[in-house]
Chains A and B, each alone.
Chain A
Amino acid sequence: EVQLVESGGGLVQPGGSLRLSCSASGFTFTTYTMHWIRQAPGKGLEYVSAIHSNGINTYYADSVKGRFTISRDNSKNTLYLQMSSLRTEDSAVYYCVKVAVLDSYWYFDLWGRGTLVTVSS
């Protein structure tokens, strides 16, 4: 089955850290750019970060640059998001997302069910 399954969300205090994981199956993970997109409760979608299939080229939204690090382990078909210096405004459901066409054209045909991150004291 083609799917993405996120894990690692939870409650963390402001200034804390958390690492999200996304396990991919059913497609050739190693050939697709992968993304994290988040959605605050009751709000819209916000792009967070992306990583090329080569694991080298990475992209970040200004709101998370310098605090979040995206990575992937192609041998494990797994995507990661290391989040540090967390703020209350980082509270959201974080979706792991696959682009539709290899490393090109960033529209998304596969979304995980998301993992909830709550930043609160």
Chain B
Amino acid sequence: DIVMTQSPDSLAVSLGERATINCKSSQSVFSSVNNKNSLAWYQQKPGQPPKLLIYWASTRESGVPDRFSGSGSGTDFTLTISNLQTEDVAVYYCQQHYTTRLTFGGGTKVEIK
């Protein structure tokens, strides 16, 4: 199975500042079939199910604020939250869908400093 490793486990960021979350896969999730990276990002707030933020590594889901952005390719990916807001306090997960044996990262908890 592809192992997804997120870092850091948690981070505290001041309001209005930038939060950066990293996700590394144990093998490339780039598909030469469609020239896309099969990597998604989710946000999970306490007591709620996860919510899709980003797919294909950098495509923002409809309705997601543009302060959320995804980047990276191959095995290394980043979720950036610019201008952090109080409503962004949550746990963030990456997920690969390159294979049918789906795997998630362990999660990164984002808090306000």
A108 to B51, CA, bound (A): 8
Query: How many residues from A make CB contacts under 8 Å with B?
Result: 18
Interface string of A66-108 (1 = CB under 8 A from B): 0000000000000000000000000000010000100001111
B49 touches A114 (CB 8 A): yes
B106 touches A44 (CB 8 A): yes
The minimal Cβ–Cβ distance linking B35 to chain A, given in whole angstroms, is 14
Give the interface residue-count category, chain B.
20 to 34
A107 touches B40 (CB 8 A): yes
Residue A32 interfacial (CB < 8 Å)? no
A112 to B107, CA, bound (A): 20
Query: Which residues of chain A come closer than 8 Å to B38, judged between CB atoms?
Result: 105, 107
On A, residues with C-beta under 8 Å from B are 44-47, 50, 59, 61, 95, 100, 105-109, 111-114
